[in-house]
Chains A and B, each alone.
With several copies, the nearest count.
Chain A
Amino acid sequence: MDPRVKGIELKLKNVRRIIPIVSGKGGVGKSLISTTLALSLKELGFEVGLLDLDFHGASDHVILNSPISELPDEEKGVIPPVVHGIKFMSIVYYSTDKPTPLRGKEISDALIEILAITRWDQLDFLIIDMPPGLGEQLLDLIRFIPRGEFLIVSTPSPLSVNVVEKLVALLKEGNHRILGIVENMHAGNNLTEEMAERMRIKYLGEIGVCDEIDSLIGEPESIMLSDFGKNLKKVAERIVSGDRPR
């Protein structure tokens, strides 16, 4: 028997809402949106955690410019370091940002381990940055955290829409909760909005192409002040809707 599965449940007991940021497609802005959304919710007064589950393509520590050379403190579990006001956990603390050539079974094991030892304690929101694909991380989240509320990200490219639509179909078929879709790098066409309508999910708004974003990586305060940050705050408010910090 794997005692870690029960461990996951216990560790997330006091986390009010869990929001995995998913797409199926890579490079659509999941990591930038995860990080900026976490910072936005913090700004609105909530207690926020951010978990980077994209083991092969971990990015949130780069966006946050978070130090990773020291191990998180141990105290009846692992305490996620507070970075820019949010509790942040990533495999990079342990892999020291070296390549992690993990196969599926290993990804699943690492994911379960991290969820079973991280002490989020009281949180209003846990934002989970997900890898592309429909693989282990997605299937494991569905399995171990059925109450996750998925936030879908797509760009207006037909290549993105084709892949994202499959993810949405899969989530809908399994009756999983979908908060809605955010269109990133909006570019004039309506492909994403039409897909949202076709799939009957909420269109939560668009983020335009923000030319300066790459130069702001590592400076989260500047990201928050950029057009990207401003647009994302609106998305954050829509997600929060009536909710108030406890």
Chain B
Amino acid sequence: MHEWALAEGIIGTAIEYGKENNANEIVKIVIVLGELQDVEQEILEFALTQLKKDTIAKNAELIFEEERAVFRCRNCGYQWNMKQSEKELTEDIREDIHFVPEVVHSFLSCPKCGSRDFEVVKGRGVYIKEMVVR
């Protein structure tokens, strides 16, 4: 459950944003979950629900969007997705990536040219896409 730490960041950010904008309440938080980090929505949602109690976000609607991971090779330009790297991504490695997504560079390389110099174009991790305050 290291998701709790991520949830603390999200609620903390939302409250700070609310205060900076003199909001009375946070109505909605849209959270993107990147496929690479593989954060479990239920666990994150549970933590968020606990943490928002007794804050200006207590009634905030939580909306989750999944974002597929896309990798692009800086050497040859090839783009690929998680499914194509399924074999390399053993359960152990997936867990390492769950904590620090960048370690994907220790384990994957471009399926076309073999380069380790690739970019995670989309779907890296968790971020707040949108917030509605009032």
Given contacts A7-B6, A98-B106, contact A174 B1 (CB under 8 A): no
Query: With an 8 A cutoff between CB atoms, is A186 at the interface?
Result: no
The yes or no answer to B111 lying at the interface (CB within 8 A) is no
Residue B60 at the A interface, CB < 8 A? no
Which residues from B are CB-within-8-Å of A4? 6, 9
Interface size of A by CB at 8 A reads 43
**Interface residues in B1-44 (C-beta closer than 8 Å to A):** 1-2, 4-6, 8-10, 12-13, 16-17
- Listed in ascending order, the chain B residues whose CB lies under 8 Å from chain A are 1-2, 4-6, 8-10, 12-13, 16-17, 74-75, 95-97, 99-103, 105-107, 109, 114-117, 120, 124-128, 131
Instruction: Please tell me if the beta carbons of A94 and B99 are within 8 angstroms of each other in the complex.
Output: yes
Query: Contact: A113 with B102, CB < 8 Å?
Result: yes
Cβ contact of A6, chosen from B12, B75, B97, B131, cutoff 8 A? B12
Q: How far is the CA of A101 from the CA of B2 in the complex (A)?
A: 25
Known contacts A75-B1, A77-B2: does B116 contact A101 (CB below 8 Å)? yes
The interface residues of chain B lying within 8 Å CB-to-CB of A110 are 100-103
Known A-B contacts A96-B96, A101-B117, A109-B124; the reply to A7 vs B8 at CB < 8 A is yes
B-side contacts of A173, CB under 8 Å: 109, 114, 116
Is A102 touching B2 in the complex (CB atoms < 8 A)?
no
The CA-CA distance from A10 to B16 in the complex, in Å, is 12
Which B residues lie within 8 Å of A119 (CB)? 5
